[in-house]
Amino acid sequence: MEQRAGKPDDTFAELGLAALLPKDAIEELLSAALSRGGDFAEVYIQRSKSTSIPLEERKIRSAEMRVGQGVGIRVLSGEKTGYAYSDRLDMGSLLESARTAAYIAAGPSVERPVNVTAQLAPDYYTVRVDPASYPVAEKISLVKRANKAAYAYDHRIKQVDVSFSDIEREIIVANSDGLWIGDLQTMVRIRVSCLAAQKGISRTGSYGGGGRIGMEWFDRVSPEDVAREAARVAVVQLDAVPAPAGCMPVVIKNAWGGVLLHEAVGHGLEADFIRKGMSIYTGRVGEKVAADVCTLVDDGTVPNARGTINIDDEGTPGQRNVLVENGVLKGYMTDRLNGKLLGLPLTGNGRRQSYHDYPIPRMTCFFMEAGDSDPEEIVKSVDRGVYAAYFSGGQVDITNGNFTFSITEGYLIENGKLTAPIRGATLVGNGPDILTKITMVGSDRALDPGIGDCGKAGQAVPTTVGMPTVKVSEMTVGGTATE
Amino acid sequence: MDYQQLAQDVVSAAMRAGADEAEVYLQTGDEFDVNVRLGEVETLTQAGAKGLGLRVFVDKRMAFASTTDFDGDVINDMVKTTVQLARSASRDRYNGLPDPGSGPGRPGPVPHLDLYDRTIADLTTAEKIEMARESEAAAFEFDRRITNSYGASFSNSSGMSIIANSNGILYTNSSTRCGIGCAPLAEEDGSKEVGSYGSVRRFLRQLESPESVGREAAGRAVRKLGARKVETQKVPVVFEWSVAPILWGAVFSALDGDNIHRGMSFLKKKLNKRVGSHLVTLIDDPLMPSGIGSMPFDGEGVLTRCKVVVDEGILKMHFYDARTARKYGAQPTGNARRGYSGIPSVGPTNFYLRQTDVSPEEIIRGISNGFYVTETMGHGVSVVTGDFSVGASGMWIKDGELAYPVHEVTIAGNMLDMMQNVEQVANDAKFMSLVVSPTFKITEMTVSGR
């Protein structure tokens, strides 16, 4: 697979693809998968290799390495999906999986030869320093540097956990439409969590970063930068007061704030919920669903972002899709099954966690485009409210649009100024409702630092969120301090 | 392939390659899952999987590797690399397998916990599909306002875990699991709500009927219709059994000895002190026959036992694995949990709040103005600070009755206060997850809404 992308030579492409499973074997499997009828068959091959290095209490707790491989075979027949997978790559086991998946079509036995042709994927994540061949001792040194910087930040930092991980995931997708394509996906990630303590009070802060990139990520952001940010949040929290309870204006800081839109809108635009009529956004393309200032994009092509994909897990190239433009709903995020059933184009959002799972529509890098307000002016415009800087993740109920997310760093806004840090706050709202209450959009659009995963139907996939600083005119803040 | 032999061979190979101690955790399993939607099969998945995790200690330094490929050359390479890798980790004198000899790591008889249902294998695919269909059909029949569905599912799995280590431990455990789930959608006057319910058991005969799962799910969807927001206020809050484990799951993490001693727990320095009302008795019982979380031995090969963790409000113990037990002068509690692809960490087995003989209806009858929570959302629970703030929906209690549905609010409080304000505990625990709780009432929490 080394010759994968960026080299416009079909022979090279085919050599890389065939290394895991030769062309004739793939074609035989696809034929076997269609042996009971079926509209479409797909073979998904995955091989992965990862390293992780956790540090706790100033010690490298362990050095860890994981390898895995497997094949998933899918057959579509109308709205039905048959799926089987195996971690054995011998032809006997694979043919058995193909026949198991074929069962869904339940028709009489048919012969359907399949021919696949190698294709090249685009390349949105060049890797300069391959983590797989980078010395373990050097990775350990990055982890230790982060640990040292966190303790050095403030004497009140009492505990530091650091973890580094890298993964190299190789995927190959072939289907009965003749597609045969592959991708090599490399990711690095570092996380630091700190505990600050003073006078019997303990608070935490965490931060991290990474992307679909090699070890050169650390040329952009040092382990010390990551550690100091985690330590800063923990120390700030020592002075935190209980968060207020009730409805009030909320200013959401750029970058991580995109979690808000990921939950409030993003999931509701995934085509499986649309096809089943389960999403509140079903049948609303062309309608005004948000304030004029809102333009929302899912972009699988952002260079080296964690959520970016050269191809999705069905072999469709990553794309930039404008979903809401100036408040008007433009489209949905599709996978093959739901795109076909809805008569919509493929958008490159068919993703899966591993060969254990069939693909479903998922976000890649989902963000809001910049507006023209000065972020400082946005804060100044609020008399009394909450400023939310970092979040620990959120959740949404697609059917009614209600969502929630938790603030890990936030402040009171009093008379246009940030005052006391707050703790223990969750924000709740309703997606369609919040979209009409976004009254100011900042000029400072940014993406999160690259450590996020999104969970849906038990599958976690790497995603990126992003946003400029925005003001929501009214939102429920779930603290304990009532007036 | 003889997997017990393979596990032992890999342990021996690691010792030959220079490990001081070695341990293999090997898993194999099969799974089946069918989802039916609007009466038709929508997805059907069938597969088998396996994996092996190797943990080695060299000079009290630890390394770990896992693979799904059992090819001889792949495993030989992995063994050598892992022993090499260990040299780069830090030396920690507390590292190592559970102490052998007369210690907690000594081999012993593995109790039979009745975790494997042989009859599941006799079910045909058609019968499984039919159960999912019946469940969804029952949901549609329950109420005319059920207009759509995410589908209903039947799933079953079987698995085997083997642990072998260089102290002579070789244990095997096999188990099954089956489940029916249903998620219908109710619709009325532009309000759309989904309700979901599932039954999960180790034995088919213990599973709730497809019809009752469907009806329960439909009831949950219908009662959410027309939900509204309420004013911000402090009121009694009742956690229905389905959401009640959220509190006890956080309490379990707070009682991980490592978190306690590192100052990362809101329950630190509370051993043998009052942490809850007299109604709070928490038990961790890995030996419960046919329990979903039952396991005769833990992920490090320590034979497990039942523990009273909080006794009528008094904290009695913390949880430890082999390393943290040595470090803090305690005994491993048999709570090391893991899959083949991870190193063991402390986790619940069947961890539950002891129930009483009060019915949930009686609890509701005693409240004039309060919130009955049936769903929570989000991650606003901090084991370090004890802060608790989550999104919630459910029913408003007015004059002892469930009056109307409520959504888009949060409930917040401090977990230590919550434990001490557990005022009533009901009799309706369902043992379908690792953390289990009957419905309970907290005297007062902040509900934030309009």
Test B88 with A137 for CB contact under 8 angstroms.
yes
The mean-pLDDT minimum among A16-20, A74-78, B375-379, B439-443 falls in: A16-20
Partners of A426 on chain B (C-beta within 8 Å) are 378, 380, 389-391, 410, 412
Q: How far apart are CA B274 and CA B417, in angstroms?
A: 11
* Residue B225 CA to its chain's centroid (Å): 30
Test A479 with B446 for CB contact under 8 angstroms.
yes
Give the helix/strand (H/E) hosting A340.
helix A336-342
> Taking CA atoms, what residue in A is nearest to B323?
A61
pLDDT of residue A15: 62
Partners of A280 on chain B (C-beta within 8 Å) are 192
Partners of B198 on chain A (C-beta within 8 Å) are none
Tally of domains within chain B: 2
Q: Which residues contact B75 (CB under 8 A, 6 or more apart)?
A: B10, B13, B52, B67, B69
Say if A358 is an interface residue toward chain B (CB within 8 Å): yes
Q: Residue B170: inside a domain, yes or no? A: no
Say if B225 is an interface residue toward chain A (CB within 8 Å): no
Assess whether B288 and B402 both reside in one domain: yes
Chain A interface disruption, residue of B234, B379, B414, B415, most A CBs within 10 A: B379
Residues 62-101 of B with CB under 8 A from A: 62-69, 74, 78, 81-82, 85-86, 88-92
pLDDT of residue A7: 41
pLDDT of residue A11: 53
Candidate from A62, A276, A478 with C-beta closest to B410:
A478
Test A394 with B192 for CB contact under 8 angstroms.
no
Q: How far apart are CA A403 and CA A401, in angstroms?
A: 6
Strands (E), A314-400: 320-325, 328-329, 350-351, 360-361, 365-368, 384-396
* Alpha-carbon gap: B36 to the closest alpha carbon of chain A (Å): 9
User: Is there a contact between A210 and A220 (Cβ–Cβ < 8 Å)?
Assistant: no
DSSP per-residue letters across B399-438: TTEEEEEEEEEEEEEEHHHHHHTEEEEBS-----SSEE--
pLDDT of residue B201: 97
Say if B168 is an interface residue toward chain A (CB within 8 Å): no
**Which one, of A458, A412, A19, lies nearest residue A248 by Cα?**
A412
Assess whether B271 and B369 both reside in one domain: yes
What are the structure tokens assigned to B281, written together?
């008795």
User: Is there a contact between A161 and A231 (Cβ–Cβ < 8 Å)?
Assistant: no
Partners of B229 on chain A (C-beta within 8 Å) are 476
pLDDT of residue A14: 65
Q: Residue B54: inside a domain, yes or no? A: no
Assess whether B231 and B219 both reside in one domain: no
Test B384 with A358 for CB contact under 8 angstroms.
no
Q: How far apart are CA A328 and CA A284, in angstroms?
A: 9
Residues 293-352 of B with CB under 8 A from A: 341, 343
**Which one, of A405, A423, A403, A481, lies nearest residue A252 by Cα?**
A405
- pLDDT-derived band at A421 (thresholds 50, 70, 90) equals very high
**Which one, of A473, A468, A467, lies nearest residue A442 by Cα?**
A468
> Taking CA atoms, what residue in A is nearest to B194?
A399
Say if B201 is an interface residue toward chain A (CB within 8 Å): no
Candidate from A69, A356, A424 with C-beta closest to B387:
A424
Residues 242-301 of B with CB under 8 A from A: 262-264
Q: Residue B77: inside a domain, yes or no? A: no
Assess whether B327 and B423 both reside in one domain: yes
pLDDT of residue B343: 95
* Alpha-carbon gap: B357 to the closest alpha carbon of chain A (Å): 32
* Alpha-carbon gap: A372 to the closest alpha carbon of chain B (Å): 30
Q: Residue B29: inside a domain, yes or no? A: no
User: Is there a contact between B230 and B450 (Cβ–Cβ < 8 Å)?
Assistant: yes
Say if A426 is an interface residue toward chain B (CB within 8 Å): yes
pLDDT of residue A4: 39
Residues 189-248 of A with CB under 8 A from B: 195, 197, 202-204, 243, 245-247
Q: Residue B47: inside a domain, yes or no? A: no
Test B377 with A97 for CB contact under 8 angstroms.
no
Considering only residues A480 and B307, tell me which one the structure prediction assigns the higher pLDDT.
B307
Q: How far is CA B10 from CA B52, B55, B78, in A?
A: 10, 10, 10
Location of structure tokens 């005769």: B296
At residue A247, what is the residue type? C
User: Is there a contact between B136 and B182 (Cβ–Cβ < 8 Å)?
Assistant: yes
Q: Evaluate if residue A36 carries a pLDDT over 50.
A: yes
Assess whether B203 and B287 both reside in one domain: no
Location of structure tokens 């934030």: B448
- pLDDT-derived band at A6 (thresholds 50, 70, 90) equals very low
Assess whether B402 and B317 both reside in one domain: yes
Assess whether B258 and B320 both reside in one domain: yes
* Residue where one domain finishes, among candidates B167, B189, B223: B223
Test A68 with B378 for CB contact under 8 angstroms.
no
**Which one, of A368, A383, A397, lies nearest residue A469 by Cα?**
A368
Assess whether B416 and B445 both reside in one domain: yes
Partners of B46 on chain A (C-beta within 8 Å) are 83-84, 100
**Which one, of A266, A226, A480, A428, lies nearest residue B379 by Cα?**
A428
ipTM over 0.85? The verdict is: yes
Query: Nearest 5°: phi and psi at A283?
Result: 70, 25
Partners of B51 on chain A (C-beta within 8 Å) are 68, 87
Partners of B62 on chain A (C-beta within 8 Å) are 61-63
Q: Evaluate if residue A10 carries a pLDDT over 60.
A: no
What are the structure tokens assigned to B269, written together?
């320095």
Partners of B390 on chain A (C-beta within 8 Å) are 404, 426, 478
Partners of B193 on chain A (C-beta within 8 Å) are 399-400
Partners of B385 on chain A (C-beta within 8 Å) are 202-204, 423-424
> Model confidence over A127-178: pLDDT tens digits?
999 999 999 999 999 999 999 999 999 999 999 999 999 999 999 999 999 9
> Model confidence over A303-350: pLDDT tens digits?
999 999 999 999 999 999 999 999 999 999 999 999 999 999 999 999
DSSP per-residue letters across A192-239: EEEEEEETTEEEEEEEEEEESS-TTHHHHS-HHHHHHHHHHHHHHHTT
Q: Residue B85: inside a domain, yes or no? A: no
Q: Which residues contact A141 (CB under 8 A, 6 or more apart)?
A: none
Partners of B74 on chain A (C-beta within 8 Å) are 67
Tens digit of pLDDT per residue, chain B (450 long)? 899 999 999 999 999 999 999 999 999 999 999 999 999 999 999 998 999 999 999 999 999 999 999 999 999 999 999 999 999 999 999 999 999 988 899 999 999 999 999 999 999 999 999 999 999 999 999 999 999 999 999 999 999 999 999 999 999 999 999 999 999 999 999 899 999 999 999 999 999 999 999 999 999 999 999 999 999 999 999 999 999 999 999 999 999 999 999 999 999 999 999 999 999 999 999 999 999 999 999 999 999 999 999 999 999 999 999 999 999 999 999 999 999 999 999 999 999 999 999 999 999 999 999 999 999 998 889 999 999 999 999 999 999 999 999 999 999 999 999 999 999 999 999 999 999 999 999 999 999 998
Test B391 with A478 for CB contact under 8 angstroms.
yes
> Taking CA atoms, what residue in B is nearest to A49?
B67
* Residue where one domain finishes, among candidates B202, B223, B244: B223
Location of structure tokens 């849906």: A456
Average pLDDT, chain A: 93
Domain residues for B193?
118-158+176-223
Q: How far apart are CA B339 and CA B63, in angstroms?
A: 16
Test B69 with A69 for CB contact under 8 angstroms.
yes
What are the structure tokens assigned to A366, written together?
């989902």
* SS (HEC) of A81-113: EEEEEECCCCHHHHHHHHHHHHHHHCCCCCCCC
To the nearest 10 degrees (0 to 180), the angle between helices B210-222 and B125-142 is: 30
Test A67 with B229 for CB contact under 8 angstroms.
no
Count the neighbouring beta carbons within 10 Å of the beta carbon of residue A200.
8
Pairing of strands A360-361, B369-377: unpaired
* Residue A374 CA to its chain's centroid (Å): 28
pLDDT of residue A3: 35
- pLDDT-derived band at A392 (thresholds 50, 70, 90) equals confident
* Residue where one domain finishes, among candidates B223, B241, B262: B223
Q: Evaluate if residue A12 carries a pLDDT over 80.
A: no
The stretch A34-59 carries a mean pLDDT of 96
Assess whether B303 and B259 both reside in one domain: yes
What's the CATH number where B211 sits?
Answer: 3.30.2290.10
Say if B228 is an interface residue toward chain A (CB within 8 Å): no
Q: Which residues contact A109 (CB under 8 A, 6 or more apart)?
A: A35, A36
Query: Nearest 5°: phi and psi at A83?
Result: -140, 135
To the nearest 10 degrees (0 to 180), the angle between helices B72-86 and B3-16 is: 40
pLDDT of residue A424: 81
At residue B356, what is the residue type? T
Test A63 with B89 for CB contact under 8 angstroms.
yes
Q: How far apart are CA A183 and CA A166, in angstroms?
A: 16
Say if A432 is an interface residue toward chain B (CB within 8 Å): no
> Model confidence over A175-218: pLDDT tens digits?
999 999 999 999 999 999 999 999 989 999 999 999 999 999 99
Q: How far apart are CA B54 and CA B39, in angstroms?
A: 45
Assess whether B343 and B203 both reside in one domain: no
Q: How far apart are CA B448 and CA A354, in angstroms?
A: 40
Say if A410 is an interface residue toward chain B (CB within 8 Å): no
Q: How far apart are CA A286 and CA B104, in angstroms?
A: 66
Q: Residue B423: inside a domain, yes or no? A: yes
Assess whether B132 and B273 both reside in one domain: no
Pairing of strands B233-239, B369-377: parallel
pLDDT of residue B101: 84
User: Is there a contact between B405 and B394 (Cβ–Cβ < 8 Å)?
Assistant: yes
Candidate from A67, A195, A396 with C-beta closest to B263:
A195
Q: How far apart are CA A400 and CA A405, in angstroms?
A: 16
Say if A392 is an interface residue toward chain B (CB within 8 Å): yes
Q: Residue B440: inside a domain, yes or no? A: yes
Q: How far apart are CA A321 and CA B376, in angstroms?
A: 32
Assess whether B352 and B331 both reside in one domain: yes
pLDDT of residue A13: 61
At residue A150, what is the residue type? A
Candidate from A202, A402, A426 with C-beta closest to B390:
A426
Cβ-based contacts under 8 A for chains A and B: 249
